[in-house]
Structure 1
Protein backbone atom coordinates (compact mmCIF):
# COMPACT_ATOMS: atom_id res chain seq x y z
CA UNK A 1 0.00 0.00 0.00
CA UNK A 2 1.29 3.46 -0.90
CA UNK A 3 -0.30 6.51 0.67
CA UNK A 4 0.45 10.19 1.12
CA UNK A 5 2.18 11.32 4.29
CA UNK A 6 0.62 14.48 5.69
CA UNK A 7 0.86 16.57 8.82
CA UNK A 8 4.12 16.40 10.76
CA UNK A 9 6.41 14.59 8.32
CA UNK A 10 9.56 14.77 10.46
CA UNK A 11 9.50 11.13 11.60
CA UNK A 12 8.76 9.94 8.07
CA UNK A 13 11.64 11.94 6.57
CA UNK A 14 13.94 10.54 9.27
CA UNK A 15 12.93 6.99 8.28
CA UNK A 16 13.66 7.67 4.63
CA UNK A 17 17.02 9.28 5.38
CA UNK A 18 18.07 6.50 7.76
CA UNK A 19 17.21 3.90 5.11
CA UNK A 20 19.29 5.77 2.51
CA UNK A 21 22.18 6.16 4.95
CA UNK A 22 22.07 2.50 5.94
CA UNK A 23 22.47 1.46 2.30
CA UNK A 24 25.26 4.01 1.74
CA UNK A 25 27.11 2.88 4.90
CA UNK A 26 26.98 -0.71 3.65
CA UNK A 27 28.81 0.49 0.53
CA UNK A 28 31.39 2.44 2.57
CA UNK A 29 29.88 5.81 1.58
CA UNK A 30 28.02 7.06 4.67
CA UNK A 31 26.16 10.35 4.53
CA UNK A 32 28.05 12.47 7.01
CA UNK A 33 26.22 15.75 6.79
CA UNK A 34 27.65 18.86 8.37
CA UNK A 35 26.08 22.23 7.77
CA UNK A 36 27.50 25.59 6.76
CA UNK A 37 25.32 28.59 7.59
CA UNK A 38 26.50 32.12 6.82
CA UNK A 39 24.71 35.39 7.55
CA UNK A 40 25.57 38.78 6.04
CA UNK A 41 24.44 41.81 8.02
CA UNK A 42 24.81 45.56 7.97
CA UNK A 43 26.47 47.58 10.73
CA UNK A 44 23.29 47.48 12.80
CA UNK A 45 22.82 43.71 12.50
CA UNK A 46 20.15 43.99 9.81
CA UNK A 47 19.88 41.01 7.46
CA UNK A 48 21.53 41.50 4.07
CA UNK A 49 21.71 37.89 2.96
CA UNK A 50 22.44 34.35 3.90
CA UNK A 51 23.69 31.00 2.73
CA UNK A 52 22.67 27.53 3.90
CA UNK A 53 24.70 24.54 2.74
CA UNK A 54 25.60 21.03 3.77
CA UNK A 55 28.44 18.67 3.10
CA UNK A 56 27.41 15.58 1.21
CA UNK A 57 29.72 12.84 -0.06
CA UNK A 58 32.78 15.08 -0.07
CA UNK A 59 31.09 18.10 -1.66
CA UNK A 60 29.48 21.26 -0.34
CA UNK A 61 25.90 21.60 -1.58
CA UNK A 62 24.55 25.14 -1.39
CA UNK A 63 20.86 24.65 -0.69
CA UNK A 64 19.89 28.30 -0.31
CA UNK A 65 21.58 31.61 -1.05
CA UNK A 66 19.55 34.79 -0.77
CA UNK A 67 20.42 38.48 -0.79
CA UNK A 68 17.95 41.14 0.31
CA UNK A 69 16.70 43.55 -2.32
CA UNK A 70 18.60 46.54 -0.87
CA UNK A 71 21.89 44.60 -0.81
CA UNK A 72 21.84 43.32 -4.38
CA UNK A 73 24.74 44.43 -6.59
CA UNK A 74 26.83 45.27 -3.50
CA UNK A 75 28.90 42.06 -3.58
CA UNK A 76 27.08 40.40 -0.68
CA UNK A 77 26.23 37.26 -2.66
CA UNK A 78 29.80 36.95 -3.93
CA UNK A 79 31.18 37.30 -0.40
CA UNK A 80 28.80 34.63 0.89
CA UNK A 81 29.70 32.15 -1.85
CA UNK A 82 33.42 32.89 -1.47
CA UNK A 83 33.25 32.23 2.28
CA UNK A 84 31.36 28.98 1.63
CA UNK A 85 34.07 27.96 -0.85
CA UNK A 86 36.78 28.82 1.69
CA UNK A 87 35.04 26.65 4.27
CA UNK A 88 34.74 23.81 1.77
CA UNK A 89 38.47 24.07 1.07
CA UNK A 90 39.25 24.07 4.82
CA UNK A 91 37.23 20.88 5.10
CA UNK A 92 39.11 19.27 2.22
CA UNK A 93 36.04 18.91 0.03
CA UNK A 94 36.14 18.32 -3.73
CA UNK A 95 34.20 21.48 -4.53
CA UNK A 96 30.83 23.19 -4.36
CA UNK A 97 27.62 22.62 -6.23
CA UNK A 98 24.39 24.58 -6.35
CA UNK A 99 21.14 24.75 -8.25
CA UNK A 100 19.10 27.78 -9.28
CA UNK A 101 16.21 28.56 -11.58
CA UNK A 102 16.59 30.41 -14.87
CA UNK A 103 14.73 33.42 -13.41
CA UNK A 104 17.04 33.63 -10.42
CA UNK A 105 20.82 33.83 -10.63
CA UNK A 106 22.46 31.58 -13.23
CA UNK A 107 24.63 34.46 -14.47
CA UNK A 108 25.86 35.09 -10.93
CA UNK A 109 27.26 31.57 -10.62
CA UNK A 110 28.95 31.78 -14.02
CA UNK A 111 30.62 35.06 -12.93
CA UNK A 112 31.80 33.28 -9.78
CA UNK A 113 33.55 30.62 -11.85
CA UNK A 114 30.93 27.86 -11.74
CA UNK A 115 30.30 25.57 -14.70
CA UNK A 116 26.86 24.41 -15.70
CA UNK A 117 26.51 20.67 -15.19
CA UNK A 118 22.85 20.09 -16.02
CA UNK A 119 19.37 21.49 -16.37
CA UNK A 120 15.76 20.47 -16.46
CA UNK A 121 13.95 21.41 -19.66
CA UNK A 122 11.33 24.12 -19.85
CA UNK A 123 7.98 22.34 -19.99
CA UNK A 124 4.60 24.03 -20.06
CA UNK A 125 6.06 27.42 -19.16
CA UNK A 126 7.72 26.11 -16.02
CA UNK A 127 11.17 27.54 -15.29
CA UNK A 128 14.35 25.64 -15.91
CA UNK A 129 16.31 24.41 -12.92
CA UNK A 130 20.05 24.64 -13.57
CA UNK A 131 22.89 22.96 -11.66
CA UNK A 132 26.38 24.43 -11.39
CA UNK A 133 29.61 23.19 -9.82
CA UNK A 134 33.07 24.43 -9.03
CA UNK A 135 35.80 21.92 -8.33
CA UNK A 136 38.97 22.61 -6.38
CA UNK A 137 42.44 21.60 -7.42
CA UNK A 138 43.44 18.53 -5.39
CA UNK A 139 46.38 20.46 -3.93
CA UNK A 140 43.99 23.12 -2.57
CA UNK A 141 41.96 20.58 -0.62
CA UNK A 142 45.04 18.80 0.73
CA UNK A 143 46.35 21.89 2.56
Structure 2
Protein backbone atom coordinates (compact mmCIF):
# COMPACT_ATOMS: atom_id res chain seq x y z
CA UNK A 1 0.00 0.00 0.00
CA UNK A 2 1.09 3.57 -0.70
CA UNK A 3 -0.46 6.82 0.44
CA UNK A 4 -0.05 9.85 -1.77
CA UNK A 5 -1.39 13.36 -1.94
CA UNK A 6 -3.28 14.28 -5.09
CA UNK A 7 -4.02 17.78 -6.35
CA UNK A 8 -7.31 16.89 -8.03
CA UNK A 9 -9.97 14.25 -7.68
CA UNK A 10 -10.16 12.34 -10.96
CA UNK A 11 -13.10 10.19 -12.13
CA UNK A 12 -11.79 7.03 -10.46
CA UNK A 13 -11.39 8.72 -7.06
CA UNK A 14 -14.75 10.50 -7.42
CA UNK A 15 -16.55 7.26 -8.22
CA UNK A 16 -14.90 5.54 -5.24
CA UNK A 17 -15.95 8.34 -2.88
CA UNK A 18 -19.54 8.43 -4.14
CA UNK A 19 -19.97 4.65 -4.07
CA UNK A 20 -18.48 4.07 -0.62
CA UNK A 21 -20.12 7.12 0.95
CA UNK A 22 -23.56 6.12 -0.34
CA UNK A 23 -23.19 2.43 0.54
CA UNK A 24 -22.09 3.19 4.09
CA UNK A 25 -25.16 5.37 4.61
CA UNK A 26 -27.44 2.61 3.34
CA UNK A 27 -25.74 0.08 5.64
CA UNK A 28 -26.33 2.49 8.51
CA UNK A 29 -30.01 2.96 7.62
CA UNK A 30 -29.87 6.55 6.33
CA UNK A 31 -30.50 8.00 2.91
CA UNK A 32 -27.63 9.98 1.41
CA UNK A 33 -29.53 12.73 -0.49
CA UNK A 34 -26.18 14.12 -1.69
CA UNK A 35 -25.86 17.09 -3.98
CA UNK A 36 -23.34 19.88 -4.37
CA UNK A 37 -24.39 23.45 -5.01
CA UNK A 38 -22.76 26.59 -6.38
CA UNK A 39 -24.62 29.89 -6.69
CA UNK A 40 -22.82 32.68 -8.53
CA UNK A 41 -23.60 36.40 -8.66
CA UNK A 42 -22.43 38.31 -11.72
CA UNK A 43 -22.47 42.01 -12.52
CA UNK A 44 -23.96 43.46 -15.71
CA UNK A 45 -20.76 42.62 -17.62
CA UNK A 46 -20.77 38.98 -16.54
CA UNK A 47 -17.93 39.42 -14.02
CA UNK A 48 -18.22 37.16 -10.96
CA UNK A 49 -18.80 39.28 -7.85
CA UNK A 50 -19.96 36.64 -5.38
CA UNK A 51 -20.11 32.89 -4.86
CA UNK A 52 -21.67 30.55 -2.33
CA UNK A 53 -20.85 26.84 -2.39
CA UNK A 54 -21.58 23.77 -0.37
CA UNK A 55 -23.31 20.44 -0.35
CA UNK A 56 -26.43 18.79 0.96
CA UNK A 57 -26.40 15.31 2.41
CA UNK A 58 -28.41 13.17 4.81
CA UNK A 59 -30.71 15.67 6.56
CA UNK A 60 -28.71 18.89 6.28
CA UNK A 61 -27.39 21.46 3.89
CA UNK A 62 -23.87 22.74 4.60
CA UNK A 63 -22.59 26.07 3.34
CA UNK A 64 -18.89 25.72 2.65
CA UNK A 65 -17.82 29.09 1.28
CA UNK A 66 -19.41 32.50 0.86
CA UNK A 67 -17.11 34.90 -0.96
CA UNK A 68 -18.02 38.44 -2.01
CA UNK A 69 -15.87 40.82 -4.07
CA UNK A 70 -14.19 43.17 -1.59
CA UNK A 71 -15.36 46.23 -3.54
CA UNK A 72 -19.07 45.51 -3.03
CA UNK A 73 -19.30 44.00 0.44
CA UNK A 74 -21.99 45.25 2.81
CA UNK A 75 -24.53 45.87 0.05
CA UNK A 76 -26.78 42.84 0.65
CA UNK A 77 -25.25 40.43 -1.85
CA UNK A 78 -24.10 38.00 0.85
CA UNK A 79 -27.61 37.91 2.30
CA UNK A 80 -29.06 37.30 -1.17
CA UNK A 81 -26.71 34.38 -1.81
CA UNK A 82 -27.50 32.78 1.57
CA UNK A 83 -31.22 33.25 0.87
CA UNK A 84 -30.76 31.58 -2.53
CA UNK A 85 -29.47 28.47 -0.74
CA UNK A 86 -32.27 28.62 1.85
CA UNK A 87 -34.92 28.96 -0.86
CA UNK A 88 -33.45 26.16 -2.96
CA UNK A 89 -33.62 23.68 -0.08
CA UNK A 90 -36.51 24.78 2.17
CA UNK A 91 -39.10 22.51 0.53
CA UNK A 92 -36.87 19.47 0.23
CA UNK A 93 -36.23 16.77 2.82
CA UNK A 94 -33.49 18.65 4.66
CA UNK A 95 -33.98 19.85 8.24
CA UNK A 96 -31.28 22.46 8.69
CA UNK A 97 -28.53 24.52 7.14
CA UNK A 98 -25.14 24.45 8.86
CA UNK A 99 -21.90 26.38 8.40
CA UNK A 100 -18.73 27.40 10.14
CA UNK A 101 -16.99 30.76 10.18
CA UNK A 102 -14.02 32.24 12.01
CA UNK A 103 -14.18 35.21 14.37
CA UNK A 104 -12.57 37.54 11.83
CA UNK A 105 -15.03 36.52 9.13
CA UNK A 106 -18.77 36.74 9.64
CA UNK A 107 -20.30 35.47 12.90
CA UNK A 108 -22.42 38.61 13.37
CA UNK A 109 -23.58 38.47 9.75
CA UNK A 110 -24.96 34.94 10.19
CA UNK A 111 -26.61 35.85 13.50
CA UNK A 112 -28.48 38.66 11.69
CA UNK A 113 -29.74 36.09 9.18
CA UNK A 114 -31.22 33.94 11.95
CA UNK A 115 -28.46 31.37 12.31
CA UNK A 116 -27.86 30.18 15.86
CA UNK A 117 -24.47 29.45 17.37
CA UNK A 118 -24.25 25.77 18.26
CA UNK A 119 -20.67 25.88 19.47
CA UNK A 120 -17.62 28.13 19.53
CA UNK A 121 -14.19 26.56 19.55
CA UNK A 122 -12.20 29.28 21.29
CA UNK A 123 -8.68 30.11 20.18
CA UNK A 124 -6.08 32.17 22.00
CA UNK A 125 -6.42 34.56 19.06
CA UNK A 126 -10.16 35.48 19.08
CA UNK A 127 -10.00 36.16 15.35
CA UNK A 128 -9.33 32.44 14.88
CA UNK A 129 -12.10 31.20 17.16
CA UNK A 130 -14.35 28.99 15.04
CA UNK A 131 -18.13 29.42 15.16
CA UNK A 132 -20.48 26.55 14.30
CA UNK A 133 -23.92 27.74 13.16
CA UNK A 134 -27.24 26.09 12.29
CA UNK A 135 -30.66 27.23 11.13
CA UNK A 136 -33.78 25.10 10.80
CA UNK A 137 -35.46 25.14 7.40
Normalising by structure 1, what TM-score? Answer: 0.80
Identify if the C-alpha distance between structure 1 residues 121 and 16 changes in structure 2 by more than 3 Å, giving closer, same or farther: farther
Quick one: structure 1 residues 28 and 12, their matched pair in 2 at CA, closer, same or farther if it must change by over 3 Å?
same
Query: Residue in 2 aligned with 1:116?
Result: 117
Contact 2:103/2:127 (8 A) holds in 1? no
Structure 1 unmatched ranges of 5 or more: 137-143
Q: Would you say how many aligned residue pairs link Structure 1 and Structure 2? A: 135
Q: Alpha-carbon deviations, 1:62-94, whole Å to 9, x = none?
A: 011111101101100000001110011132421
Q: Hey, what's the Cα distance between the residues in 2 that align with 1:119 and 1:4? A: 33
Show structure 2 runs of 5+ residues with no match.
none
Change (3 A) 1:7 1:120: same
Per the normalisation by structure 2, the TM-score is 0.83
Matches within 5 A, 1:23-34: 23-34=24-35
C-alpha RMSD over aligned residues:
2.4
What is aligned with 2:51?
A: 50
